[in-house]
Amino acid sequence: MIELSLMVLLGQASYPLPASTLAHTDLAQAAPSAQNAPDPGSRSGVTSPRELTSNLSFAVISSLFSIAPTSANRQALLTLPNAGEEAPFDELSWAADGRLAAVYNLREVYVWTPNSPAPTQVFNSQCAYMPNLDLIWPSQGTTLLIRELCEAPASTSSRSMSLYVSDATSISGTRRLPGLPTNLSSRPYVSPDGSQVAYVEADHIYRLTIDAAQPQRITTQPGVYGAAGSPLAWSPDGRQLAFFEGNYPNQRLNVVDSDGSNRRLLTPEPDFQIYRSRIYWSPDGSRIAFYQPVDPPYDNREAVQLVTLATGEIRTVTIPGFYDALSWSPDGQKIALASGKVENQELFVLDVATGEFTPLTPEPLAQVMNTLWSPGGDWIAFSGEQAGQDLANQVLYAVRPDGTELRSLTSPDEYVYPFVWGP
């Protein structure tokens, strides 16, 4: 699948503790079931901002539900027509205003309005094999963007990538973006407001606006962009692109304005390497987080590093280890992340200013896929499996950023994927 000189302040950070040092508490006890959990938000008096939060939407096989992070008010939202046990939801996405949801089920994309009797199909992939689809609602408006990756039908052909623009009303209202070439070397990456698309073609990075017929080349010299699936990552305001250049794993992090000006190398060391080319912009666009190998190629452990764009300062914020599921809080002051190998992980919140870590899970989990902050930053949702169980399912959890009120929102016999905040 196509994706995507250190100033080390070790003395100023306290790092995640090993599992053995944490209090041993059964997650099942710490996290009441969705049916039996009390609602700590039902207190008398004035409702605090801490209590004003979105619900979570999540999918199990062919059905969609919503639930409060307190585990209250679970409601069935949608069951796809003619969907059986082998037809799972593959993605779920809400429009910015919360009035429309898009789901993708095998080859088909549906749009659904809450309280409507049935979803509306807006796309049916014609890939020779099962496609990989991404559903993208821009930060404004109700236009749905559908990114399609088709695997090559024969060894003599190549995979193809397309971007479709849908008015979210019907299949006839969905069209392929006409100015986008078919022989891309990367996925098309959509800006947060949905007005621009960036991609790699013929050793260059290009930008195409949704309403334009001709793309603009934004790199002046040919290079190796998008190696090993490294992404083109838009800044939150859509004014900059961050990307890795170079042959894997010798890829260095760059940033450039969306018109091609002011390109800067953020990791100038000639021997800089990257194993997992993830790029995590802070919400205000001032910093980028990434995973840095500790001693390649001899050590596969990584450290989380932050680079400040204004100064170029790179700060190491974790000890060497195994990290995943990184996400910024909405205010950019904290980072949630999983620590440990995939079969034995713990969740923490890092205070970026102080370097202090707060543990979120008293018992290890496995296969933590991602962490999602609520829009108000008062909850963190994540899914994971009970560590040490051979046939465990993904269970949905919610927890406060200070580690309190941890609870499971689904039962172990439900496989939860995907999940999002909203509406």
Tens digits of per-residue pLDDT, 49-95? 334 458 999 988 778 999 999 999 999 988 876 655 555 788 899 99
pTM of the entire predicted model: 0.85
How many other C-beta atoms can be found within 10 angstroms of the C-beta atom of residue 244? 28
Residue 22 lies in a domain: yes
Nearest to 194 by CA among 206, 217, 211: 211
Residue 34 lies in a domain: yes
Q: What is the pLDDT of residue 212?
A: 77
On whether the CB atoms of residues 94 and 418 are closer than 8 A, the answer is: no
Residue 218 lies in a domain: no
Strand order in the sheet with 232-234: 232-234, 240-245, 252-257, 264-265
| CA-based torsion, 117, 119, 120, 121: positive or negative | negative
| pLDDT single digits (tens) 142-200 | 899 999 999 888 776 788 899 999 999 999 999 999 889 878 889 999 999 999 999 99
Q: What is the pLDDT of residue 53?
A: 52
Average pLDDT, the chain: 84
Distance CA 142, CA 144 (A): 6
For 110-157, the three-class secondary structure string (H helix, E strand, C coil) is EEECCCCCCCEEEEECCCCCCCEEEEECCCCCCCEEEEEEECCCCCCC
Q: 3-class SS at 54? A: coil
Tell me the residue range of the domain where 408 lies: 6-41+52-78+322-423
Residue 173 φ then ψ, to 5°: -90, 10
Task: Give Cα 97 to chain centroid, integer Å.
Answer: 19
Nearest to 18 by CA among 405, 344, 262: 344
Distance CA 257, CA 401 (A): 34
Residue pointed to by tokens 């020779």: 128
Please enumerate in sequence order all residues whose Cβ is within 8 A of that of 92, keeping only pairs 6 or more positions apart, or say none.
57, 58, 59, 64, 101, 102, 103, 135, 418, 419, 420
Please enumerate in sequence order all residues whose Cβ is within 8 A of that of 278, keeping only pairs 6 or more positions apart, or say none.
4, 231, 290, 291, 326
The 10 Å CB-count burial string (b at 16+, else e) for 152-174 is eeeeeeebbbbbbbbebeeeebb
Q: What is the pLDDT of residue 274?
A: 85
Q: What is the pLDDT of residue 115?
A: 80
Distance CA 106, CA 18 (A): 40
Q: 3-class SS at 307? A: strand
Please enumerate in sequence order all residues whose Cβ is within 8 A of that of 63, keeping only pairs 6 or more positions apart, or say none.
76, 78, 79, 80
Residue 408 lies in a domain: yes
Distance CA 143, CA 136 (A): 9
- The first and second tokens of residue 383, run together, are 């899914």
Q: What is the pLDDT of residue 182?
A: 79
Residue pointed to by tokens 């760059």: 254
Strand order in the sheet with 196-201: 189-190, 196-201, 204-209, 216-217
On whether the CB atoms of residues 164 and 134 are closer than 8 A, the answer is: no
On whether the CB atoms of residues 134 and 161 are closer than 8 A, the answer is: no
- DSSP conformational letter for 35: T
Burial of residue 204 (number of CB atoms within 10 Å: 0-12, 13-18, 19+): middle
Strand pairing partners for 53?
none
Residue 73 lies in a domain: yes
On whether the CB atoms of residues 261 and 213 are closer than 8 A, the answer is: no
Per-residue pLDDT at 273 exceeds 70: yes
Please enumerate in sequence order all residues whose Cβ is within 8 A of that of 257, keeping only pairs 6 or more positions apart, or say none.
239, 240, 241, 263
Q: Count of domains in the chain?
A: 1
| pLDDT single digits (tens) 223-261 | 999 887 889 999 999 999 999 999 888 899 999 999 999
Residue 295 lies in a domain: no
Q: 3-class SS at 213? A: coil
Strand pairing partners for 206?
199, 217
Strand 75-79 vs strand 63-67: parallel, antiparallel, or unpaired? antiparallel
- The arithmetic mean of pLDDT across residues 363-367, rounded, is 93
